[in-house]
Each structure stands twice: as C-alpha cells, then as structure tokens.
C-alpha cells in the first residue's frame, strides 16, 4: 500500500525524533568560540597588579617598572601587616623608641626560614598609605634591612602621562 504525503512526513518526523545521533549546529559553536576568544584577549593583561587593601591610599608617581613578586608590607593609619597578617599597630610601633620594629623583624625572619620561593631575592614591597609619617617608614625600612631584605620597592598608583601635580 502506498503512503500519503502526510504519512511519509509524519514517519520522517518520528524518525528524526528517535534518532540517537544528534547533530550540533557548527555556526553557533563557532560564534560562541569567537566571542570567547575576543573576551579573553580583551581581558588578558601582562602586567601584574598588587591587591591594595581598602584603607590604604597609595601615593601617585611616574613608574615604568612592573611590580615584582615580593613580600608585601602594607601600612595604613592603624596597622602594619605582612602578607595580609597584622603584625603590630602603628601606635605601638611609633611609641617604641627603638630604630627597628621587633615583631616585624621576627616575622620577616620566620618567613625567610619557612619559604624559599618568595624570599630568594630578599625583596620587599612596601604599600604605605600616603599619610603615614616618614619616621614610621624609616623604621620599617631599617627593620627590613636588618632582616637582610635589602631590595625595597614602594607600591604607587601610576600617574597618567598628562597629569601633573
């Protein structure tokens, strides 16, 4: 018996519905991958950005060097922290008559003994708030030098070339 057009169409439809080999639309896949590639190219940067704590306002300066991977000492108006761990309060560090800060010195020595990968170059990046007193900054630098961290860097916000202040 001969099948009508409608019966043939219904058989073909049911055959497609039960087909186990599903096909993907290549145009849609290519569109998705193209968008993904452009997104990754736009958002990829080759400069390393140091995470700045919320309560630290960095000074602005003309800087052409990219930050190195060093230990980070963050200094705000209240605390001095090393690698995100609070070491001592600023008030206690300033009240101390010594030229160095003992808890910071001990922490730097502990880090030098415990990890070799970060401290091979013996470098420290100081992220100091722009309003901290120079006497405190000097104590921190002397403490770092005493713990044999002689490669000191300061984190700053990079000025744009057209800005003068």
Q: What CATH number is attached to the domain comprising 135? A: 3.30.420
Same domain, 151 and 74: yes
Tell me if 82 is assigned to some domain. Answer: yes
Supply the pTM of this predicted model. 0.60
Distance CA(103)–CA(107), nearest Å, equals 6
Domain housing 13? 5-43
Tell me if 89 is assigned to some domain. Answer: yes
Walk along the chain (165 residues) and give the pLDDT tens digit of each residue. Answer: 788 999 989 888 887 777 667 677 788 889 999 999 988 888 776 555 666 666 666 666 666 666 667 888 888 888 898 888 899 998 998 898 888 899 999 988 888 877 765 545 678 888 888 788 889 989 999 998 888 888 888 877 767 665 554
Same domain, 120 and 85: yes
Same domain, 83 and 119: yes
Tell me if 54 is assigned to some domain. Answer: no
The structural domain count of the chain equals: 2
Which has the closest alpha carbon to 69: 137, 117, 34, 12? 117
Instruction: Decide: 130 and 55 in contact? Cβ < 8 Å.
Output: no
């Amino acid at each position: 018996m001969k099948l009508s057009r409608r019966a043939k169409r219904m058989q073909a439809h049911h055959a497609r519905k039960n087909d186990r080999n599903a096909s993907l639309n290549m145009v849609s896949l290519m569109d998705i991958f193209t968008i993904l590639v452009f997104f990754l190219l736009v958002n990829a940067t080759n400069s390393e950005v140091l995470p700045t704590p919320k309560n630290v306002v960095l000074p602005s300066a003309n800087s052409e060097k990219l930050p190195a991977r060093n230990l980070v000492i963050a200094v705000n108006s209240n605390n001095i922290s090393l690698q995100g761990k609070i070491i001592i309060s600023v008030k206690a560090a300033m009240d101390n008559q010594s030229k160095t800060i003992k808890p910071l010195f001990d922490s730097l020595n502990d880090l030098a003994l415990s990890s070799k990968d970060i401290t091979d170059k013996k470098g420290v990046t100081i992220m100091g708030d722009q309003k901290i007193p120079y006497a405190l900054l000097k104590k921190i630098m002397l403490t770092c030098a005493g713990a044999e961290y002689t490669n000191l860097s300061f984190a700053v916000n990079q000025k744009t070339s057209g800005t003068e202040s």
